[in-house]
């Protein structure tokens, strides 16, 4: 199953969710591929040694722009069962470069995944904070969508945008088979603001919101800077417990 982690807002824990859901599934024994589709290359920076530089032709850029096969650029990680596909800062130009392409510019990632899809139980895609062609390519390639939403501050505009994203994908026939696995509340804490936002989300999106919430927890941030996931960095932390519960919910969703 291909799952996109997307929200056009930055700083809502897309990357953190992508890394830890992918790692958690891999630890549970599933074969997982994590794709970094964000030009900010955050996933890539976590899994690549700081001194190693990813060449353009070893990145997702070459696949999306030059129709290069995905297989040769897949890398192993230190996590058993977890492979990843690196991003490159030049991915930021993909919107412009593909704008002039006529052939299937929204379905390039889906095409690239076809030959390798059978090798994995789950393919998790981390996305940029935008609704450009990179995110569109991911959504077209996916069967499921997880939308992290931060409850750290109240933003009704975020809710409206989010609803627009969901409607766009469902109504524009980009990918009629895409199902929204759920909205996950992130950065939750025992404040009125956090509780209010969570309440609003549950009221607005009803059963679409995962029961599990991801609390503000420094272990999640520390794991990134230690080039790993939270289950290795702090297996008993609140963050690790929360992502474990989220994965269980994802596995239980029909
Ligand atoms: N639950 C959390 N508690 C504390 N820090 C978090 C949590 N989730 C993410 N972070 C940190 O917040 C920042 C933004 O998260 P990130 O996953 O990069 O968001 P996005 O990919 O949506 O921009 C990062 O520095 C990350 O380490
Ligand atoms: Mg990110």
Position 173 scores a pLDDT of 66
Each residue of 31-52: b (16+ CB within 10 Å) or e? Answer: bbbbbbbbbbbbbbbbbbeeee
Q: From ligand 2's centre to the CA of 187, what distance in Å?
A: 14
Is the predicted pLDDT of residue 177 greater than 90, yes or no? no
Q: From ligand 1's centre to the CA of 16, what distance in Å?
A: 6
Q: Which amino acid residue places its CA nearest to atom 26 of ligand 1? A: 221
- For the CA of 186, the nearest ligand: 1
CA–CA distance, 166 with 201 (Å, rounded to integer): 14
Looking at the CA of residue 10, tell me the nearest atom of ligand 1: 23
**Pocket flag, ligand 1, residue 10 (CB < 6 Å):** yes
What are the sequence ranges of the domains in the chain?
2-6+8-252
**Pocket flag, ligand 1, residue 176 (CB < 6 Å):** no
Dihedral of CA 182/187/188/193: which sign?
negative
Q: What is the mean pLDDT of residues 226-235?
A: 97
State the chain's mean pLDDT as an integer. 92
Each residue of 166-187: b (16+ CB within 10 Å) or e? Answer: beebeeeeebeebebbbbbbbb
Position 50 scores a pLDDT of 79
Position 100 scores a pLDDT of 80
Is the predicted pLDDT of residue 131 greater than 80, yes or no? yes
pLDDT tens-digit readout, 33-55: 999 999 999 999 999 987 889 99
CA–CA distance, 249 with 184 (Å, rounded to integer): 11
Is the predicted pLDDT of residue 154 greater than 70, yes or no? no
Q: How confident is the model at residue 155 (pLDDT cuts 50, 70, 90)?
A: low
Q: From ligand 1's centre to the CA of 173, what distance in Å?
A: 31
Instruction: Specify the range with the lowest mean pLDDT, choosing from 4-8, 111-115, 151-155, 210-214.
Output: 151-155
- Name the token pair of 19: 């890394």
* Angstrom distances, CA of residue 149 to CA of 65, 71, 130, 187: 30, 32, 14, 8
Is the predicted pLDDT of residue 206 greater than 90, yes or no? no
Looking at the CA of residue 17, tell me the nearest atom of ligand 1: 17
CATH architecture of the domain 2-6+8-252 equals 3-Layer(aba) Sandwich (3.40)
Is the predicted pLDDT of residue 156 greater than 70, yes or no? no
**Pocket flag, ligand 1, residue 229 (CB < 6 Å):** no
Q: From ligand 1's centre to the CA of 12, what distance in Å?
A: 6
Phi, psi (degrees; rounded to nearest 5) at 90: -70, -10
Q: How confident is the model at residue 221 (pLDDT cuts 50, 70, 90)?
A: very high
Looking at the CA of residue 217, tell me the nearest atom of ligand 1: 3
Q: How confident is the model at residue 205 (pLDDT cuts 50, 70, 90)?
A: confident
- For the CA of 219, the nearest ligand: 1
Looking at the CA of residue 12, tell me the nearest atom of ligand 1: 22
Probe ligand 1: pick from 16, 40, 153, max atoms within 8 Å of CB?
A: 16
**Pocket flag, ligand 1, residue 42 (CB < 6 Å):** yes
């Amino acid at each position: 199953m291909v799952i996109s982690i997307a929200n056009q807002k930055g700083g809502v824990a897309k990357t953190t969710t992508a890394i830890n859901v992918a790692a958690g599934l891999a630890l549970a024994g599933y074969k997982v591929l994590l794709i970094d589709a964000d030009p900010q290359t955050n996933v890539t920076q976590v899994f690549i040694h700081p001194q190693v530089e990813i060449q353009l032709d070893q990145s997702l850029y070459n696949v999306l722009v030059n129709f290069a096969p995905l297989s040769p650029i897949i890398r192993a990680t230190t996590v058993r069962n977890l492979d990843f596909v690196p991003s490159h800062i030049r991915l930021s130009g993909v919107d412009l470069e593909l704008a002039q392409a006529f052939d299937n510019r929204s379905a390039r990632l889906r095409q690239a995944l076809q030959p390798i899809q059978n090798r994995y139980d789950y393919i998790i895609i981390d996305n940029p904070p935008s609704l450009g062609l990179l995110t569109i390519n991911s959504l077209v390639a996916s069967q499921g969508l997880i939308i992290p939403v931060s409850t750290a501050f109240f933003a009704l505009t975020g809710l409206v945008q989010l609803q627009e994203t969901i409607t766009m994908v469902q109504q524009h026939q980009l990918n009629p088979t895409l199902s929204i696995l759920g909205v996950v509340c992130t950065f939750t804490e025992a404040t009125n603001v956090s509780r209010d936002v969570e309440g609003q989300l549950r009221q607005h999106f009803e059963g679409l919101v995962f029961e599990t919430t991801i609390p503000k927890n420094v272990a999640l941030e520390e794991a990134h800077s230690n080039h790993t996931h939270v289950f290795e960095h702090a297996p008993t932390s609140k963050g690790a417990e929360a992502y474990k519960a989220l994965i269980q919910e994802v596995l239980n969703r029909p």
